[in-house]
Structure 1
Amino acid sequence: MFMSVFGLRTSNPAFNRYFWKKPNYFSKAKMSIGGILLKSLLILSLVVLTASYTWHLFFSGVNTKWHTAVGMFVAIICSLFISFKHSAAKYLLPIYSLAKGFFLGGISAIAHQRFPNLPFQAIGVTIVTFFVMFLLYKWKLIRVTKEFRTIIITATASIFIFYFIGWILWFLNIDVPYLWGTSWFAIGFNVVAAIVASFSLLLDFYYIDKQVGRYPKEREWIATWGLLITLIWLYVEVLRLLKKLTIRF
């Protein structure tokens, strides 16, 4: 319901009807898997660059609180601009990636300080999940039907609402155990969020698959942005889940 209000057809904002509407200009060069792959590798390299830098600063004794907070803020601003002006994706996506790297580097360094190697485990789980989801989609072991899309979209919207409410309560200094705690309910919520994030990759693969060869090559930047959003969401959920399980057990 929440997503339908905004006319979204997928759990990822980069792959809604607004972005995939018919372009009003002609271009011989079309979207390709190779183009999306190259752009994804470039963008992920930028994320790793600033994440590594923030990580280094943290363990050098520098307070990276502002790096993390400003990185998150800039990434949100870039996402909003890309959402309303998709032609700006090729200019803003590198900035978004660098900013997101600062954010991820900050939270990962904190996690590693308290739980050594936890971020590396989360990265490994994220990479494995990506390839498993890709193979499941490629081999059609899971079919992305209309009903499947509806379930994932509804679940994603519900999780977003829960997080939004949780963040508001957190700013008001009200404890939100179902999000930040280590109770079985909190762990269960995190498990569900991680599963939904994983299945969101299938929706991303589906919409990219439907548009490759049809839309202008410039749209590859939007496709790359969409995949990056889901991968980062998945990594954060896995990191939080592993952290909770480590504390619990």
Structure 2
Amino acid sequence: MESRNPVFTRRGFSRDTGYAGFNAPPQAGAAANPYAGTNPYAGNNPYATQAPPQYVPQTRPMTMDDVVVRTSLTLGTVIAGATVGWLFLTAHLGFAVGAGLIAMLLGFGQSFLRKPVPALILAYAALEGVFLGALSGFLNSVPQLHGAPMQAVLGTMAVFVTMLIAYKTRIVRVTARFTRFVIIAAIGFVLLSLVNTLFAVFAGGDGLGFRSGGLGIAFGVVGVVLGALFLALDFKQVEDGIAYGAPREESWLAAFGLTLTLVWIYMEMLRLISILRGD
């Protein structure tokens, strides 16, 4: 069965062995070895009767335990960074915003690399956590938004569990059409967010109105739904990676993708709760 995941298809994983080309039979039409049976040293070589050494892969295939461990490590780093931001940078949002911008650059850098770089992923997680912690602490200090970060955390967990159940029971099926729809919708959402930010910066106020009122609530709901759909894509990536024998290092990419999606959902959930409680 051929994988539809472009990452695993490009790297040539097969469901039989987990490694492209390993243990494959000789190809038809290959030229015969002109030296076969004519080795003058075969008779005197005491090791000639021993079987040749077998190739041993340098890494074993990825397992669910690998994904769980690395995702826990990455999310744990986010939580550690968030604790630092909450305790020390709530009153210094400028530093937190700087950390968030650097985290965004690191995230883009890893996204364009063909192989995972664990140090890069963990650095992203730490800096993103600092930003989230400082922002959440600041919002929590506002009387009408007190407790909003905890509500956003609980909401994010609820979305994760709901989508995991929906995916495992095949209520949500990830197909090529589903993937295209989610990606196009996400691109449109991000572009609208950027346009709204530009209008807010240069024209003042709330820009196009995507950050407050009824339109802001609707936009926030769309953001949470998109995050939930991206979770389904992440689950599919993990499932395909295990089924097609992706190398163990690919579990870092799975952890990175899940972390990105959960951060997205938390941010949209926090913004939605802020709008609902602020109106």
Same fold (TM over 0.5): yes
In 2: Cα distance, 1:64 partner to 1:18 partner = 40
The superposition leaves residues 182-239 of structure 1 with CA deviations (integer Å, 9 ceiling, x where unpaired) of 2211111111111111121111111221111521111111111001000000000000
- Whichever of the two has the greater Rg, that structure is 2
Structure 1 unpaired stretches of 5+:
1-8, 10-15
- The count of aligned residue pairs is 230
In 2: Cα distance, 1:46 partner to 1:230 partner = 15
In 1: Cα distance, 2:257 partner to 2:6 partner = 13
Which aligned pairs between 1:42-191 and structure 2 lie closer than 5 A? Answer: 42-58=73-89, 63-114=91-142, 115-175=145-205, 176-180=207-211, 182-191=212-221
The superposition leaves residues 110-159 of structure 1 with CA deviations (integer Å, 9 ceiling, x where unpaired) of 22111111100100010111011001101112222333223222211110
Task: Check conservation: 2:200, 2:208, Cα contact below 8 A.
Answer: no
Per the alignment, residue 60 of structure 2 pairs with 29
Q: Give the SS at the match of 1:29.
A: coil
Per the alignment, residue 17 of structure 1 pairs with 6
Q: CA deviation at 1:80?
A: 2.3
Per the alignment, residue 12 of structure 1 pairs with none
Per the alignment, residue 220 of structure 1 pairs with 251
In 2: Cα distance, 1:159 partner to 1:19 partner = 27
Residue type at the aligned position of 2:10 = K
Task: Check conservation: 1:137, 1:202, Cα contact below 8 A.
Answer: yes
Work out whether 1:235 is the aligned partner of 2:263: no
TM-score (norm 2): 0.76
TM-score (norm 1): 0.85
In 2: Cα distance, 1:245 partner to 1:116 partner = 13
The superposition leaves residues 12-36 of structure 1 with CA deviations (integer Å, 9 ceiling, x where unpaired) of xxxx735762069964411111111
Q: Give the SS at the match of 2:11.
A: coil
Deviates most, 146-155 or 35-44: 146-155
In 2: Cα distance, 1:105 partner to 1:96 partner = 14
CA separation of 1:20 and 1:71: change in aligned 2, threshold 3 A: farther
Q: Give the SS at the match of 1:142.
A: coil
Task: Check conservation: 2:116, 2:250, Cα contact below 8 A.
Answer: no
Task: Check conservation: 1:31, 1:211, Cα contact below 8 A.
Answer: yes
Q: Which has the higher contact order (CA 8 A, sep 6+)?
A: 1
In 2: Cα distance, 1:178 partner to 1:89 partner = 39
Q: CA deviation at 1:177?
A: 4.1
In 2: Cα distance, 1:19 partner to 1:93 partner = 20
The superposition leaves residues 50-87 of structure 1 with CA deviations (integer Å, 9 ceiling, x where unpaired) of 1111111246xxx3213311211111121122123243
Residue type at the aligned position of 2:274 = K
In 1: Cα distance, 2:126 partner to 2:255 partner = 14
In 2: Cα distance, 1:20 partner to 1:123 partner = 35
Residue type at the aligned position of 1:127 = M
Which aligned pairs between 1:238-249 and structure 2 lie closer than 5 A? Answer: 238-248=269-279
